[in-house]
Structure 1
Amino acid sequence: MAGPIAEVRKFLTATLFAPVPDEVRRPAPTPSALRRRRIVVTVTLLIGAVTMGLALRIEPGDPAFYGATLGLALVWVVGAVVSGPLHLGRSVTRSGGRDGRSVVQSLALAALLLAIFLLGALVVAQVDWLRENVQQLLDHVRFGVLPLVLAITVVNGIAEEVFFRGALFSAIRSHHAVLLTTALYTLSTVGTGVPLLVFAAAVLGLVTGLQRQVTGGVLGPVITHIVWSSGMLLLLPLVLPR
């Protein structure tokens, strides 16, 4: 029987590093379709980055925050849909199957990622300026309507993955797509002025980018993102109380 470390290694390999066969993937787009996608995602990326920066600078408790963040989700979704077709993707299972939908894998990966971040929050709690930085972000939860904030978090998670790991990833068409989409996703959060949010975006972007690379679609990244972000929203205030 394989030990726990071997099991984790097999899980991570299947989830992040074992791509589905080429015959399961969609055919490459035509040059004109690819050109259109690249133009659309470039414009969307610029609009979205500005919108995100403005949304997260709104004072906690201000109703305008809800409209701004929903507007941000709309920017990502419209840009993704207009850019061209998107696909759910397939995954390789631990047993070697090559026709899964990566639902269970993504749930487990999100739980693992959430646990790592919550442990990291215990370290952040010991550093005053980092702790205060996160507290300002969490004030949107404390002074807002939790069910509404949670719903917006889920909607934005879906929208971000559909755009960054869907439209943008497809537009790059390069062996460096994971790194490039991660970098652009991270840069889009710089305007928020929250260093730890930028760091979280880099880690999440890398993980979901690897998922997108091996599955050829957005379903896995979407599940991982919304489970992780919802978990952070609900549990981080408990780990870092005011």
Structure 2
Amino acid sequence: MRTGSWPRRRRPRRGERRPGEVAVVGLTGAALLGASLAAPPASARFYGLTLATAATLTLGGLATTPPPMRPRDRRVLVPAITGVAAFGAFYGCALIVRRIPVLRSAITELLRYADRGRTPAVLLTALANGAAEEVFFRGAVYHAAPRRPVAVSTGAYVLNTTATRNPALVLAAAVMGTLFGLQRRYTGGIQASLITHLTWSTLMLHFLPPLFLDDHRPTSKSLG
């Protein structure tokens, strides 16, 4: 190196782990996620922040992850059935959770975003964020972890979700994050976890709000 010259910054090699950059993207995404669920439901601010969260995780995940490998298992039906089964398990648990005031309140507050908003817009933002989470957590974070990538990616997913300050959402992230991580390890790609995530999210948005919100809607007698 010549005297007085600065060493050139080495560019990351193709496929190299970049945990520092992944962490920055994750923290930015968590901040946006927390802000989105602090915004009024169905507001322009809510939709803008949720889409910004999805864009941050997607673009950041793609920028810090090598080109995706061809998954060993490219079946579509099995991940979709897994998503349906996961929803069935959550729906069964929801019937019990309705009797636990703390969790019932947390889920009710969360589902107001799905109930008060325009259904297509809410579904779009939910699916965009679900896809972004798979690109980032089962893509970039999983790749950046040299050891125990399933545990690391799930832990990062749970920590990200704590920004919402909603215990029900954090618990769901722990359960589903583990499932998605195992799918990533078994298949070698994010296709399976992506299909499962989107299937599960769609069913949860469609069937869970009536279970928790119908009791809070005014009846004709109370209005009359």
Q: Which TM-score bucket, shorter chain as reference?
A: 0.7 to 0.9
Percent of aligned pairs with the same amino acid: 37
- Aligned partner of 1:45 among 12, 26, 30: 26
- Please name the residue that 2:90 is paired with: 117
Runs of 5+ in structure 2 lacking a partner?
Answer: 1-11, 217-224
Q: What's the TM-score once normalised by structure 1's chain length?
A: 0.80
Give the 4+ runs in structure 1 shifted more than 4 A: 33-36
- Please name the residue that 2:64 is paired with: 83
Q: What's the TM-score once normalised by structure 2's chain length?
A: 0.86
Separation in 2, partners of 1:43, 1:34: 18
Runs of 5+ in structure 1 lacking a partner?
Answer: 1-30, 92-99
Judged with a 3 Å threshold, the aligned counterparts in structure 2 of structure 1 residues 86 and 196 are, in CA distance, closer, same or farther, namely farther
1:106-144 deviation digits (Å, cap 9, x = unpaired): 001111100000011001111122211111111111211
1:144-199 deviation digits (Å, cap 9, x = unpaired): 1111100111111111101100111111132x110111011001011111001000
Separation in 2, partners of 1:72, 1:37: 20
Alignment check: 8 A CA contact 1:90 1:102 kept: no
- Please name the residue that 2:184 is paired with: 212
1:26-68 deviation digits (Å, cap 9, x = unpaired): xxxxx84455632321110111111111111112232210000
- Aligned partner of 2:54 among 65, 73, 76: 73
Alignment check: 8 A CA contact 1:61 1:140 kept: yes
Find the structure with the greater CA-based Rg. Answer: 2
- Please name the residue that 1:57 is paired with: 38
- Aligned partner of 2:197 among 204, 210, 225: 225
Aligned AA (1:224):
T
Alignment check: 8 A CA contact 1:37 1:83 kept: yes
- Please name the residue that 1:158 is paired with: 131
Alignment check: 8 A CA contact 1:86 1:166 kept: no
